[in-house]
Amino acid sequence: MEPIIRYSGLELTFVEIILGVALLLLGAFFALLFGGRRKDPEAAALAAQMREKLSEMQSQQGELQGRIAQFAEDSAQRDDLFRQSLDERLSKVSERVGQSIVQTQERNSANLKQLHERLALIDRAQKNIETLSGEVSGLQSLLSNKQARGAFGEKQMQDLIESYLPPNAFSFQHTLSNGKRVDALIHLPGEQGDVAIDSKFPMEAWRRLTTAENTDQETTAKRAFAADVTRHIKDIASKYLIFGETHDIAMLFLPSEAVYAELHTHFPQVVEFGFKEKVMIVSPTTFMATLHTMRAVMRDAAMREQAHILQREVGLMAKDVTLLDDRVAKLQSHFNQSTEDLRKIRISTEKITKRADKIESLDVEERESAANNIAEFRKPTG
């Protein structure tokens, strides 16, 4: 138990102070009790009892002090255990906090690294976007110029034709018999004529249509766009459809799929007018399909043109096969004759062999007969 009074090296606890006060009160009581003049036996007995009680109190005080000391020792041990437990927990908490801080730092570092990488990607994407914006601006400036736009569409058309058709199947910037120059002319086989292709398009009307800000402007732009396309179709039909020289259908090449889709979606009357005037409007995609069909037609025509050559070669080959069969038959007859001659030769050799055997056997018989005769001649006569 902690002392509550410290003075000149003297330390007093609360229990010691209470006991001291109790002893002072008892001493005062005894002083009053025995300080009188009378000393009767009852007072003496009472004093003895008081002294006995005081002795019991002193013994109880000793026990109490022992218990208090034990309690203080137990309390100190509990304090030590609590301090150790608290230190261990604080150490574990500190370790966990340290690990958490390290992990947080690692995650933050990884996140910062990823953030830097993403920023670098965004940086590159921004540069690509800027480059693309420049290219789009260049394309827009290119398309804003009528001559440059025509050259762009013409180049795209020429690239498609060169990719799908053989070199002898087309010609660019060909001058027709009427003096008009067509952007491309595809030579179909036979008497079908050449297909004329025009790569120009009234893009100004289309641009006014796409930039219209209200309904009135849009209506006016649509009317102007339809009129311009219709006029261009008429020009193509009048310039490039020549009887006996060109095919009965010409083509208007659009370098934009969006314009092609807009025409077929919102201007079907213009498309029908093109069919009526025998001018077919094509986009890059439909033009590729058309070129593929033309190439197949050219291939079939080339095979038909070569059919008589194939037929003549097949006839000659049949004659060669017949001649070869005759020669094989003759060779077989020669083989058969040779076989017969060999058979006859074998017969002759067999006959000669038999005759030689007979002659040899005859010679042996004659020798035996002569020997027998000599033996008979040498026998003694009786």
| pTM (2 d.p.) | 0.45
Q: What is the pLDDT of residue 101?
A: 85
Angle (nearest 5°) at CA 297 between 293 and 301: 170
Cβ neighbours of residue 342 closer than 8 Å, sequence gap 6 or more: none
Contact 144, 190 (CB under 8 A): no
Residue 183 phi/psi, 5-degree rounding, is -65, -40
Cβ neighbours of residue 241 closer than 8 Å, sequence gap 6 or more: 196, 248, 250, 278
Q: What is the pLDDT of residue 269?
A: 92
Cβ neighbours of residue 95 closer than 8 Å, sequence gap 6 or more: none
Cα torsion through 233, 238, 241, 243, rounded to 10: 150
Cβ neighbours of residue 98 closer than 8 Å, sequence gap 6 or more: none
250/235 Cα distance (integer angstroms): 11
Contact 15, 1 (CB under 8 A): yes
Q: What is the pLDDT of residue 25?
A: 63
Q: What is the pLDDT of residue 218?
A: 82
Q: What is the pLDDT of residue 250?
A: 92
The ranges of the chain with pLDDT < 70 are 1-41, 43, 47, 131-152, 307, 360-382
Domain positions in the chain are 1-31, 145-309
Strand, coil or helix: 174: strand
24/32 Cα distance (integer angstroms): 12
By residue count, the chain amounts to 382
